[in-house]
Amino acid sequence: MNWLYLRGALRRWTQRLWRRLPLDLPLTGALLLLAGIGLAVLYSASGGNWNQVGNQAARLALGFAVLLVLSRVPPAILRSWTPWFYFATVGLLLLVTLFGEGRGAHRWLDLGVVRFQPSEFAKLSLPMMVAWFLHDRMLPPGWGALLACAVLIGVPAGLIAEQPDLGTALLVGISGAFVIFLAGLSWWRIGALAGLVAAAAPVAWQYMHEYQRNRIRMFLDPESDPLGNGWNIIQAQIAVGSGGVPGKGFEASTQAKLDFLPEHTTDFIFAVFGEEFGLVGVALVLALYLFIIGRGLWIAASARDTYSRLLAGAISMTFFVYVMVNGGMITGLLPVVGVPMPLISYGGTSAVSLLAGFGVLLSIHAHRRLGAH
């Protein structure tokens, strides 16, 4: 009798706790599953380095804690915080130009107790700011609003490109561009802006660093320098291709264990996964990614105010771009730009900022019935 009473009390307590936690169960479960897969792959790719796995687990725990906190903050409050968050991010990026650290590129700030990349914060603060700017204006935006949005996007993206980190700068810019696209930008204006970008490409080529030009050249013809600049792409393709359909099995990646594959715990960790779990494993993980993206877009579609709708859609589509770019990079379909595979690649700041974005998504979902404007 006592056992039945305790079991019933525990069930009621669990139900009350879950109702208090504003979490979308399918999305939260998919993120936890993806993070678990990432830790398992990291264990294999690092050669069983429990210290590295433990560090990543701690960072993911911090990220999920941030997710939980943000999920409880109403979108109206997040909207009021947006300008402060944006300008704080710009300030940190300015500090990077003066005091930044890194190998060949100044991307990190070291505050003694913590070392982080401010550019990761821009992946969230920038779309938040563009959504904040557009939420109370007539949509679709006119040329004046588009010019203002271009400035809001260009300032942080330009500071990141100056580090130099062109790949992250482009992704940050794309996150802001998604907000503009979702605001109902007409197709003729999209075509006009695309034409301007294409016309500016030759000019941008002249201002690119030589290593950035080499990445584009190697993307077009990696075999022209197989032992130099083309090494990364070739070894990643060998890893993915050697996995075949079923894969070689867990901890059986020869490309990682023999150090043929560069950055096999960070940017190229998904190549290790492809070698070990093959086409079947890759398809299942990509299906999980697509579910997360689709769930995010569903949350965006059900949002009740413009700010929430634009921001949720931009976060979801930007997540899709990260997956597409990293997957294209390791298969040779896109140039190498140093973009991690979300929640699988080793990295602290990127994981925390990514989960913070999903915390905002969960907040929008939890407060959708309130219709806050």
Give residue-wise pLDDT tens across range 208-247: 777 778 778 877 777 777 777 778 888 888 888 888 888 8
40 CB-contact burial (10 Å; exposed 0-12 / middle 13-18 / buried 19+): middle
Q: What are the structure tokens assigned to 91, written together?
A: 């300030």
Q: So what's the pLDDT on residue 373?
A: 43
- Nearest Cα to 130, choosing from 91, 167, 185, 93? 185
Contact between 283 and 355 under an 8 Å Cβ cutoff? The reply is no
Q: What are the structure tokens assigned to 108, written together?
A: 């990190």
Q: So what's the pLDDT on residue 231?
A: 82
For residue 71, the tally of other CB atoms under 10 A from its CB is 22
Rounded Cα distance, 281 and 271, in Å? 11
Q: So what's the pLDDT on residue 1?
A: 46
Eight-state DSSP code of residue 115: E
Q: So what's the pLDDT on residue 115?
A: 77
Using the structure block, give the residue that is written with the tokens 């075949």: 244
Rounded Cα distance, 329 and 290, in Å? 18
359 Cβ neighbours under 8 A, 6+ residues apart:
66, 67, 68, 69, 70, 71
Positions in the chain whose pLDDT score sits under 50? 1, 17, 371-373
